[in-house]
């Protein structure tokens, strides 16, 4: 119960990494507002709460590309709970499309979801954090944001921009007691990774092969192990604890050594 009494928002909480982050924060005592675009967030929250000694996961069905709705939800949480201690900007989409086939609609949707929402939700949440002189903001980026992707250039660009935004926020709000960091997951087994497998198999004509993307990426992982949502969630919890108070403006790779910068 290291986070007992803390109030958190986790976006993209309905599956994969976001669901596990929500679960681990709640297990450590935080009250977590679990944001997701899908209505399944309600049943998932009920399931998580069944394993807790209190109702600490509060489902919120929301489209984070709707900035006005997002701001309204933040105001409601502050009015109800009096504060927001933790923001995890996790929600994101991924498309595997060759560079020359990315159209304007795909570009705009990617940047609206993966970057624009991060900026404006941070802007909304940081104001009540500044009033209390404390807060933790963790942005989930990707190792793709460090090295680029020829068949997902818009995704890599959005995640690279999240790293830059993390640094800007860290410079802007560090003196106000707010710690801002990013996490860059690598090969993590999630529904998104399963979709990447299918898409890359189709693009490269390897439909008869299993785990095309996983095997390709795993060949570049020195420890030769795949990651799981819990690996990322554990780092998020650490960044919310007092023990991490001197970690600020950093991008932490959780990738088994795929990237080392």
CATH number at residue 250: 3.40.50.720
For residue 212, is it within any domain?
A: no
For residue 84, is it within any domain?
A: yes
Give catalytic residue positions.
Answer: 155
Q: Where on the phi/psi map is residue 63: left (φ > 0), alpha (ψ -120 to 50), or beta?
A: beta
- pTM listed for this prediction: 0.94
For residue 203, is it within any domain?
A: no
For residue 237, is it within any domain?
A: yes
Average pLDDT over residues 205-224: 83
* Domain around 32: 7-186+228-254
pLDDT over threshold 90, residue 212: no
Average pLDDT over residues 21-31: 97
For residue 210, is it within any domain?
A: no
How many percent of the chain have pLDDT more than 90?
A: 85
For residue 129, is it within any domain?
A: yes
Distance between first and last Cα of the chain:
33
For residue 18, is it within any domain?
A: yes
As for how many domains the chain has, the answer is 1
Angle at 221 between CA 92 and CA 13, to 5 degrees: 20
Average pLDDT over residues 95-100: 94
pLDDT over threshold 90, residue 192: no
For residue 52, is it within any domain?
A: yes
């Amino acid at each position: 119960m290291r986070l007992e009494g803390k109030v958190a928002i986790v976006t993209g909480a309905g599956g994969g990494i976001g669901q596990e982050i929500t679960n681990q924060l709640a297990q450590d005592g935080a009250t977590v507002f679990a944001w997701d675009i899908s209505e399944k967030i309600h049943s998932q929250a009920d399931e998580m709460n069944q394993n807790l000694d209190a109702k600490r996961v509060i489902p919120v069905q929301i489209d984070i590309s709707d900035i006005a709705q997002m701001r309204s939800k933040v105001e409601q949480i502050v009015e109800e709970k009096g504060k927001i201690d933790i923001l995890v900007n996790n929600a994101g989409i991924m498309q595997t499309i060759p560079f020359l086939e990315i159209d304007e609609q795909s570009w705009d949707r990617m940047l609206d979801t993966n970057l624009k929402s991060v900026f404006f939700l941070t802007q909304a949440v940081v104001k009540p954090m500044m009033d209390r002189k404390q807060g933790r903001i963790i942005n989930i980026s990707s190792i793709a944001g460090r090295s680029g992707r020829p068949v997902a250039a818009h995704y890599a660009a959005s995640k690279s921009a999240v790293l830059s935004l993390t640094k800007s926020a860290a410079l802007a709000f560090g003196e106000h007691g707010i710690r801002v960091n990013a996490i860059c997951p690598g090969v993590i087994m999630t529904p998104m990774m399963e979709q990447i497998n299918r898409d890359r198999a189709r693009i490269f004509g390897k439909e008869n092969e299993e785990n095309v993307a996983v095997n390709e990426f795993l060949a570049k992982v020195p420890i030769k192990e795949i990651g799981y949502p819990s690996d990322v969630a554990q780092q998020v919890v650490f960044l919310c604890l007092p023990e991490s108070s001197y970690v600020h403006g950093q991008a932490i790779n959780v990738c088994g050594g795929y990237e080392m910068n």
